[in-house]
Amino acid sequence: ERTQVGIVGAGPAGLLLAHLLHLRGIESVVLEARSRTYIESRLRAGVLEQGTVDVLTETGLGERMHRQGLVHEGVFLRFDGRTHRIDFRELTGKGITVYGQHEVVRDLVAARLAYDGPLRFEVEDVRVEDLDTDRPRIRYREHGASQETELACDVIAGCDGFHGVCRAAIPERALRCFDREFPFAWLGILAETPPSSRELIYAHHERGFALLSMRSPTVSRLYLQCAPNESLDAWSDDRIWSELAARLATRDGFVLNDGPILQKGITPMRAFVCETMRHGRLFLAGDAAHIVPPTGAKGMNLAVADVRWLAEAVEAFYRRGDESLLEQYHERCLRRVWKAERFSSWMTSTFHRGPISTDFDVRIQLAELDYLTSSVAAQRSLAENYAGLPFQ
């Protein structure tokens, strides 16, 4: 079997890349290890930058997003029991859209299947080979098959997330990676209760960080900082609600709506960048190449930005035999990636309480937040990064 671009992974990166290539008349095959049901219900990110919304809209994927997504013009920062709003619209002219990642994935899968684009679920034993040649190959087995399939490609896109096989196929000596561990994690819940705020609330509290987000007018999404090795068993629904209420409490009596918890999970926090986003004819995109800590909601948006560059570069390669954009791919992506790492690390360290934070550190955080909410310059900087840096 043969295709132009072999894509490993049907997350936002792989599926959007396939779509962008299709619109440019370039063929691809998407291979996904999990089932369709699984990827369409996996609960993850929820905030789309304006630029992400724009790409999805311009490429015909915006219909449901515009109907169901919640447009927010700002966020609330809460500390010392008081709430301050950062007005993105006024500061940057941009907004954000709250629309679950799995909804984006659903829209992308539907679009792919509507034009019969190859998308294979539950493939096994995926391996990428001959990356240094102009005919790289992907070997895999169809679900349950004993025979291996070989897919010959011109280019392979490694969109298989942090734990995928593509980055691991790059020889150790060629890899340049950087990482930072954070000494805490997030416990996230999805709850059947109307959001207690019309926009997101990022809360600084001596007991640790809390975040109020949402998925719809009737479903809330909340997170609280916990220890990295924490077990979910230690967190009964009652304990989760009372901890959230304590961390989100204000001087003027904020009331947190509670309700049945539909899902809960613990997400580790890490920052990671693999600067080797290209090896021969293999190109990494999204979480396969980089992870940001979740504070600031940059993960999915970065994946979208990567594949915009990649689709453009692959198009230049086919149209004009021009490889210069493929050669510049990692540099164009990394400029954005490192700025998102910077912003997410800053949001994380401003709001979380580490196991060895001192009272001095907490005073610095509060001063940072006080400065932020009293300086238009500082607010504009936050707003610019949160709503999304421009694309060029």
Residue positions annotated with a catalytic role: 72, 202, 294, 298, 386
Q: Which residues bind ligand DHB (CB under 6 A)?
A: 45-47, 200, 211, 213, 221, 294-297
- Tell me how far, at minimum, the Cβ of 146 lies from ligand DHB, in Å: 41
Of 112 and 221, which CB lies nearer to ligand DHB in the complex structure?
221
**Least CB distance to ligand FAD at residue 360 (A):** 30
Residues 301-340: x/- map of binding to ligand FAD (CB under 6 A)? --x-------------------------------------
> Residue 295's binding partner, choosing from ligand FAD, ligand DHB, none, with beta-carbon cut-off 5 to 8 A by kind?
ligand DHB
Contact positions with ligand FAD (CB under 6 A) in 15-44: 31-34, 39, 44
* Residues 356, 299: Cα–Cα separation, whole Å: 27
- Could you give the string, one character per residue 87-126, with x where binding to ligand FAD holds by CB under 6 A and - elsewhere? --------------x---------------------x--x
Select 88 or 309, whichever has its Cβ closest to ligand DHB.
Answer: 88
Subset of residues 178 to 197 that bind ligand FAD, contact rule: CB under 6 A = none
Residue at shortest CB range from ligand DHB: 46
Nearer residue to ligand DHB within complex by CB, 14 or 294: 294
Closer by beta carbon to ligand FAD, 262 or else 366: 262
